[in-house]
């Protein structure tokens, strides 16, 4: 260790500020959140130096985890919310990947004004999320929204998109797909451009149809890129709070409630903000994503080994 420090002290010096920042901004809050899950801390029991009030919460062990995982409705009906979170995540990632792959295939072909189309398709990603969310919220307005105006002009019904129905979940899925497609498209377009053209020429010489070239050349060539962007998409969507909160508003909508939005409700809403239960949800979200990412990467490595 001493020899390593003497030889590479400059490398450790360069890395040290980053380690300190990560420890302060990530590791310390994470450790504090885990500690909160083992207590009954809330707004009335946390220390308040302004009011000269000491902390009065107590250690409760794993009681918060047991209460949440029991499915008790007073703790957010964890399993039902988890199912809705999985539906939300799967719908967004599948649609985002499908639309992004289709647009990437179109932009990978020679065409006029291709650069202009790329810039236009990147715009939803360049625009801040809150602007896109508010724009879509106005378009989904049941009385003055563009979407219902178009439906009315076609002689169709004009539903209340952001009401207390499942249509609210459909609406936020549409908004999240709109926001996420540009990133998916750019990542897959880069993967498409890295596939050697010789493979397509050889497949065409062998008489492969366009579908066979897509299935046997394009998809295998995109395997590594697809695996990474799908994993990132799942993690980002699983924790996608801004879109749901900004589109549906601060009032809790049970039809769009996912794990992260319920954690926010418990932490910032109610007569007595329940920091313990909110932190418990945060730790459970982290645990679910870590377990999923571990098995997902293992499955990808196994698939690459057999490929």
pLDDT (0 to 100) of residue 271: 62
The confidence score (pLDDT) of residue 188 equals 93
Which tops the pLDDT comparison, 166 or 75?
Answer: 166
Residues 64-83: pLDDT tens digits?
Answer: 999 999 877 677 788 999 99
In a domain, 62, yes or no: no
30 found inside a domain = no
**pLDDT band (50, 70, 90) for residue 252:** confident
Summarize pLDDT for 270-281 with one digit per residue, the tens: 667 889 999 999
Nearest to 68 by CA among 56, 57, 76: 76
C-beta separation of 93 from 226 below 8 A: no
Mean pLDDT, range 118-131, rounded to an integer: 84
Residue 54 confidence (pLDDT) above 90:
no
Contact of 187 with 149, CB cutoff 8 Å: no
Q: State whether the Cα torsion 263-267-270-273 is positive or negative.
A: positive
Q: Which residue has the tokens 């010789």?
A: 198
CB atoms within 10 A of CB 231: 17
What is the pTM for the complete model shown? 0.86
| Residue 296 located in a structural domain | no
- Write out the residue range of the structural domain in which residue 195 sits: 77-273
Residue 227, in any domain of the structure:
yes
Percent over 70 (pLDDT), the chain: 98
Q: Where residue 92 sits, what CATH number does that domain have?
A: 1.10.3720.10
282 occurs within a structural domain: no
In angstroms, rounded to a whole number, what is the distance separating the alpha carbons of residues 296 and 307? 16
Domain count, the chain: 1
Report the pLDDT averaged over residues 119-145.
87
**Confidence band for 43, pLDDT divided at 50, 70 and 90:** confident
Within-domain flag for 192: yes
pLDDT at 307: 61
State the average pLDDT over residues 14-35.
89
Q: In the predicted model, what is the mean pLDDT of residues 181-202?
A: 90
């Amino acid at each position: 260790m001493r020899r390593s420090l003497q030889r590479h002290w400059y490398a450790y010096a360069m890395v040290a500020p980053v380690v300190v920042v990560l420890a302060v901004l990530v590791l310390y809050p994470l450790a504090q959140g885990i500690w909160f899950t083992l207590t009954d801390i809330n707004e009335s029991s946390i220390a308040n130096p302004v009011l000269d009030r000491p902390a009065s919460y107590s250690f409760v062990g794993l009681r918060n985890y047991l209460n949440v995982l029991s499915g008790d409705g007073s703790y957010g009906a964890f399993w039902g919310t988890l199912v809705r979170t999985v539906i939300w995540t799967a719908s967004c990632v599948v649609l985002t990947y499908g639309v992004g792959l289709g647009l990437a295939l179109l932009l990978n072909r020679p065409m006029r004004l291709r650069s202009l189309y790329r810039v236009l398709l990147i715009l939803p990603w360049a625009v801040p999320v809150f602007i896109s969310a508010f724009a879509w919220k106005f378009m989904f307005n049941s009385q003055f929204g563009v979407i219902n105006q178009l439906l009315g002009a076609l002689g169709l019904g004009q539903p209340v998109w952001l009401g207390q129905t499942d249509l609210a979940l459909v609406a936020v899925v549409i908004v999240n797909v709109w926001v996420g497609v540009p990133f998916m498209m750019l990542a897959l377009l880069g993967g498409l451009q890295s596939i050697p053209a010789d493979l397509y020429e050889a497949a065409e010489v062998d008489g492969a149809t366009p579908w066979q070239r897509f299935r046997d050349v394009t998809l295998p060539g995109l395997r590594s890129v697809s695996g990474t962007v799908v994993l990132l998409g799942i993690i980002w969507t699983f924790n996608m709070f801004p879109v749901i909160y900004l589109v549906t508003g601060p009032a809790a909508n049970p039809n769009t409630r996912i794990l992260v939005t319920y954690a926010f409700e418990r932490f910032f809403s109610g007569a007595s903000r329940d920091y313990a239960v909110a932190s418990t949800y945060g730790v459970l979200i982290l645990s679910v994503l870590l377990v999923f990412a571990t098995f997902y990467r293992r499955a990808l490595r196994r698939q690459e080994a057999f490929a």
